[in-house]
Structure 1
Amino acid sequence: MTFEQMRIFLEAAHFGSFTHAAERLGLTQSAVSVSIKKLEEKLDVPLFDRSGRRLLLTEAGQVLLNEAERILRDVELTMRRVEGRRPLSPSALVACTANAYDFWMPQMLARENGSGAHGVDLIRGGVNEVAAYVMRGTADAGVTSAMPSHPQFQQVAVFADRLVLCGHPERAREVPDDLGWKALAEQAPLLWEHGELTPTLVAALASHRVEADRVAHPVLRLSSSTAVISALLGGRYIGFVSDRAAQPWLSSGRLVRIGALEIPVRYWLFGLREHNIDRFVSLFGGRVE
């Protein structure tokens, strides 16, 4: 499979239309159709279900979509890595998980601009993606909410956050002030980010003998702290959210803390042992927590 075929497949998969894919790529609809057909013949498996008005991915097509997105993202990151090594333009690449990227790192870079943060670029990915970027050398360092366990990594704690139980003020009035862990199920369903912070939250619930599946919303499984906050502002649910992410809404009174339940979250800066990650400590004010 060529990169051109991969790009054509991705556009068709994203838009559910060969016509739209052709318009995006500056090709004819026929060229897109032929490219997809040749790819399916090469793989000997259908990638799209063409029976309806809109193209739908088959199971094989969904697998290819996930892998093709990852491959092209890795190629882009590698190009950025190489370009960052141009003479007279020293650059470092730090890979971050979503909450570190959205709520921590930009402030660090803005504060340190012109000093230790010169030439630092950020990329975003999931916990496993960030670890893979650092392991392959695509990124110089990583920042995640999960302590890396691979023996080739060195790591240091850099941020301290917490998950707090929040809700709209009207919804919060329906909850007892002394709400404890054992009574959480009575307030279900609860919302939280189904992403990088999920393992930390599930482990905390389990330590208090609360089954995550019993209190989680059966359908509304949101993948970012921002999405959870947006849902909480609707006033129907309560849920756990990053204190860092919720601070503007708590300060304005549009969300309020519920009870005293909270779950500590640590963020880790890490890199390969043979590389020096001390130079990145300046991003955190010259110190780590």
Structure 2
Amino acid sequence: MNYTLNQLKIFLKIAELKSITKASESLHLTQPAVSIQLKNFQDQFDIPLTEVIGRQLYVTPYGEEIAKAAEKILLEVENMKYKSLAFKGKLAGQLTIAVVSTGKYVMPFYLAPFLSKHNGVNLFMDVTNRYQVLEALERNEVDFALVSVLPENL
């Protein structure tokens, strides 16, 4: 087997979204490019990873197992990048932020200098309503939350 990390990433997105078209949009690739990568990836396995019934794409049970393995592999590759930066003494990792919808206008002002200084930090910012921001904070799913009124219970 001789597949690429890019093929793993594409297949994982297809398995997640159950659609080549949606995967191509999410990955900012053309639909034919995603289809070709899926075919090249599929050709390396004796058992089908996906099947099309009607116009709907389904991931086979074997494909689901391959998707789980691909997710683990891609996570480890990402961790290797973080570890390399950490050994160089640089700040690295995932930063997860939840902000209320009005905060989306303020956060780039604060985050841009930080992210340009620390290019090993990957930002995930969820812009949502106050209730969901506070829920994410309560469940410790975010590193930072921005709301306009401080909650009394936290």
TM superposition score normalised by structure 2 = 0.54
Query: What is the CA-CA distance between 1:21 and the residue it aligns to?
Result: 1.0
Query: What is the CA-CA distance between 1:72 and the residue it aligns to?
Result: 0.5
Query: What is the CA-CA distance between 1:54 and the residue it aligns to?
Result: 3.0
Partner SS state of residue 43, structure 1: coil
Larger gyration radius, structure 1 or structure 2: 1
- Map of 2:4 onto structure 1: 2
Query: What is the CA-CA distance between 1:53 and the residue it aligns to?
Result: 3.6
Partner SS state of residue 44, structure 2: helix
- Map of 1:45 onto structure 2: 47
Query: What is the CA-CA distance between 1:90 and the residue it aligns to?
Result: 7.7
Percent of pairs identical after alignment?
A: 34
Query: What is the CA-CA distance between 1:49 and the residue it aligns to?
Result: 1.9
What letter is aligned with 1:11? K
Q: How many aligned positions are there?
A: 93
In 2: Cα distance, 1:28 partner to 1:90 partner: 34
Q: Is the 8 A contact 2:48 2:63 kept in 1?
A: yes
Alignment CA distance shift 1:79-1:43 (3 Å): same
In 1: Cα distance, 2:55 partner to 2:32 partner: 17
Query: What is the CA-CA distance between 1:59 and the residue it aligns to?
Result: 1.4
Q: Cα deviations across residues 36-84 of structure 1 (Å, max 9, x unaligned)?
A: 1121112122111211443221011011011000000111111111111
Q: How does 1:58-69 map to 2 (within 5 A)?
A: 58-69=60-71
What letter is aligned with 2:48? P
In 2: Cα distance, 1:81 partner to 1:21 partner: 29
In 1: Cα distance, 2:91 partner to 2:30 partner: 42
Q: How does 1:62-101 map to 2 (within 5 A)?
A: 62-87=64-89, 89=90
Partner SS state of residue 56, structure 2: coil
Pair 1:19-2:21 in alignment: yes
Q: Is the 8 A contact 2:47 2:62 kept in 1?
A: yes
The CA RMSD over aligned residues, in Å, is 2.2
Partner SS state of residue 46, structure 1: coil
Q: Compare the two structures and name the one with the higher helix fraction.
A: 2
Alignment CA distance shift 1:83-1:29 (3 Å): same
What letter is aligned with 1:84? A
In 1: Cα distance, 2:82 partner to 2:20 partner: 30
Q: How does 1:183-262 map to 2 (within 5 A)?
A: none
Partner SS state of residue 14, structure 2: helix
Q: Is the 8 A contact 2:18 2:58 kept in 1?
A: yes
Gaps of 5+ in 2: 94-138, 140-152
In 2: Cα distance, 1:64 partner to 1:77 partner: 20
In 1: Cα distance, 2:5 partner to 2:43 partner: 17
Gaps of 5+ in 1: 94-225, 227-251, 253-289
Partner SS state of residue 55, structure 1: strand
